[in-house]
A and B are shown apart, each in its own frame.
Chain A
Amino acid sequence: MNEVGYGAHPPRRQLAAYVQGELDGFDAESLEGHVARCDACSGSLAREARVEVALHQVAARASMSARRSAAGGARGARFAAGGAIAAAALLVVWLARGASPSSDAMSDAGPLSGSDAAAVDGG
């Protein structure tokens, strides 16, 4: 980075580098020394700071949104796992009570078609 001499108006890129935290030691202190006494540069620095704050806010919102999505996905996975466990538990209970004739029939059956349904209904 170019050094900013006392009294010189720092270019915009220098102000941007300052708010981004990219100026070290002497450069930062020189810029602060000038801006503290210069209304025009103080206003320019405020504009650069507003851009910086907006960028941080956008990043924070995107990060929060990503975390919520991840948490939602994890919740969905937990729900699915819970459902699978519940289904398995029901199956175990059902098997423990003994297979019924209708269950045997269903185990061999494919999906019901309209005519199948009519047959089941007693047609």
Chain B
Amino acid sequence: MELSWDDLGAGSAGEAPRRADAGAAPRPARSAPPRAVSQAEERRHTERALSGDLAAWNALIERHNHRVVVSLLARGVRVDRAKDIAQDAWIRLIEQQRAGRLASLSLPGLAIAQAGFLAGDLARRERGRLEPLDDAASDVLDPAGDIEERLAATEHLAQAERVLARCSPSAQKVFRLAYSGDGLSHADVAVQAGLSLQRVRQILCEVRKRLRSALEDRHE
């Protein structure tokens, strides 16, 4: 996804951007972050984005948009809708920056939070508009959550940590590399871990299988 100032309403800095037409908006060519990015490069992009550089924003969007979409999918939002909401979330963040309301930029957390807020807001508005028997709103879950949901999320996290702690040291190393936040592809992880790509995929598949099983057990 690449945004232009036209997508944002292209007016003066104080003018509120409008949402890009979903049909006309460029779609990402791939779902993955394009390449590993150093922390120094990420910091440079962040600083430039905070000063209003749209190219820097696009670089950050290209790197983090997939995580935002996946966070919405995890809430039960359908994929096409998740991509639209993610795009709206980025536009809102750029709008906030242009209005001088964005002092810092911690990504992808801030974009994920913004997208979650938009998804919840959308769900609430649809619930108010739809007939009781119409379940169309159920494809966007309310992310606000209550205390029980937050406790369950905390327990999920603890459960996930226990699952990973029981994995072999080599599996834990692969996990740390793959989820380091540096955007390493599985091929990058294989090089850094000194393993074959096939082995890395097997390890991550096994880790996911154990975690999926643990999380599903909790639901039952």
**Real complex partners, A and B?**
yes
Contacting B at CB under 8 A, from A13-47, are 13, 16, 18-25, 28-29, 32, 35-36, 42, 45-47
Whether B129 is near chain A, meaning CB under 8 Å from some CB there, is: no
- Nearest-neighbour CB distance to chain B for A17, whole angstroms, equals 9
Does A52 sit at the interface, judged by CB under 8 A? yes
**Interface contact B33-A21, CB-CB below 8 Å:** yes
Residues of B in contact (CB 8 Å), total: 39
Residue positions of B touching A, CB distance < 8 A: 27, 29-33, 66-67, 70-71, 73-76, 78-80, 83, 156-157, 160-161, 164, 175-176, 178-181, 185-186, 204-205, 207-208, 211-212, 215-216
Which residues does A use to contact B, with CB under 8 Å? 13, 16, 18-25, 28-29, 32, 35-36, 42, 45-63
**B30 near A23 (CB under 8 angstroms)?**
yes
Residues of A within 8 A of B66 (CB): 21
Q: A61-B161, A63-B181 are in contact. Are A49 and B78 (CB under 8 A)?
A: no
Identify which of B76, B157, B180, B181 contacts A54 (C-beta below 8 A): B157
Partner among A28, A48, A52, A58 whose Cβ is within 8 Å of the Cβ of B157: A58
Contact of A50 with B215 at beta-carbon distance under 8 Å, contacts A32-B80, A56-B179 already known:
yes
Contact of B164 with A36 in the complex, beta carbons under 8 Å: no
| Contact pick for B32, options A22, A42, A49, A54, CB 8 Å | A22
Residue contacts A-B, CB under 8 angstroms, 24 given: A21-B66, A22-B32, A23-B30, A24-B31, A25-B29, A25-B30, A28-B31, A32-B79, A35-B78, A36-B78, A42-B78, A42-B79, A48-B212, A50-B215, A53-B71, A54-B156, A55-B175, A55-B207, A57-B160, A58-B157, A58-B179, A59-B180, A59-B181, A63-B181
A16, A32, A48, A56: the one contacting B67 at CB < 8 Å is A56
**Which of A24, A53, A54, A58 lies in contact with B30, CB distance below 8 A?**
A24
A54 touches B31 (CB 8 A): no
Q: How far is the CA of A59 from the CA of B181 in the complex (A)?
A: 8
Determine how close the nearest CB of chain B comes to the CB of A24; give it in whole angstroms.
5
Chain B residue numbers with a CB within 8 Å of A51 are: 208, 211-212, 215
In the complex formed, the residue of B with least CB distance to A55 is B179
Tell me whether A58 and B164 are in contact (CB under 8 A). Answer: yes
B208 touches A24 (CB 8 A): no
Contacts of B160 in A (CB 8 A): 54-55, 57-58
Q: In the complex the two chains form, is B74's CB within 8 Å of A53's CB?
A: yes
- Docked pose: A1 CA to B75 CA in angstroms: 26
B10 CB to closest chain A CB (Å) equals 28
A18-B31, A59-B176, A63-B180 are known; give 20 further A-B pairs, CB within 8 A.
A16-B205, A19-B70, A20-B178, A21-B33, A21-B66, A24-B29, A24-B31, A28-B31, A36-B78, A36-B80, A46-B76, A48-B208, A51-B212, A51-B215, A52-B70, A52-B74, A55-B207, A55-B208, A56-B67, A57-B157
Do B181 and A24 have beta carbons less than 8 Å apart? no
For the complex formed, measure the closest distance between the CB of A107 and the CB atoms of chain B, giving whole angstroms.
52
Residues of A within 8 A of B83 (CB): 32
Rounded to whole Å, the gap between the CB of B209 and the closest CB of chain A is 9
Taking a contact as CB atoms under 8 Å apart, the answer to whether A62 and B211 are in contact is no
The 7 A-B pairs at the shortest CB distance, nearest first, are namely: A21-B32, A59-B179, A49-B73, A49-B74, A28-B31, A54-B160, A53-B74
